[in-house]
Structures are given as C-alpha cells and as structure tokens.
Amino acid sequence: MHRDVAARSEKLRQQARGRREKKAHVRLAKFALGDFVLLGKIIKFPNKLALNWKGPYRVSRVDSDYVMEVQQLVEPFRTTVHHASPL
C-alpha cells in the first residue's frame, strides 16, 4: 500500500513540475511604437471563455515591454492604456 501511495505522489510531483516548466517558456509578444494590434475583450459564456477581437489599433506610446497606449484608427481617435496580454 505504501509503495502505491509513494508512486502516485511521485507521479503527481512530476506532473506539477512539467506544468511549471511549460509556463516558464511562455513569452508575450513585444510591440513597438507604430505597430498595429487587435484588442481582445473577454466575453464569458456559461461553459466557455471566449475573446471578442476589436480593432485595429495603433501603438502610440510604449511605457514598458508589456504596458502600452493604443489609439483607435477610426473616429473617435481614443487612446487607452493596455497590458500586452490582451493585444
């Protein structure tokens, strides 16, 4: 019985380690000034997570690698600040 518990525990530990390693290799795209982007808005359905893409927008200011200001290309030419993950 103890051998089975130890084997299961080791298997779960290996799976958790694999998940952490996969997440470590994820990199967000880096956008430069003047790039054209789409903005993803999350819409929640009862059983699913979906994105509604809006745009195009132009990157008008880059605050850091992951935070930038985007400007609409059609009137009204509003500008908003966003994190790079929904772009």
Work out how many domains the chain is built from and give that number.
1
Do the domain assignments include residue 24? no
Residue 15 lies in a domain: no
What are the pLDDT digits (tens) for 1-60?
788 888 898 899 888 888 877 777 777 778 889 999 998 888 887 777 788 888 899 999
Kind of pairing, strands 67-72 and 36-45?
unpaired
For residue 49, being part of any structural domain is answered with yes
- Residue 52: inside a domain: yes
Report the distance separating Cα 1 and Cα 7, nearest Å: 10
Q: Is residue 40 part of a domain?
A: yes
Q: Which tens digit of pLDDT belongs to each residue from 48-76?
A: 778 888 889 999 999 888 889 999 998 88
- Domain span holding position 62: 36-83
Residue 41 counted as domain residue: yes
Is residue 48 a part of any domain in this protein?
A: yes
Q: Is residue 77 part of a domain?
A: yes
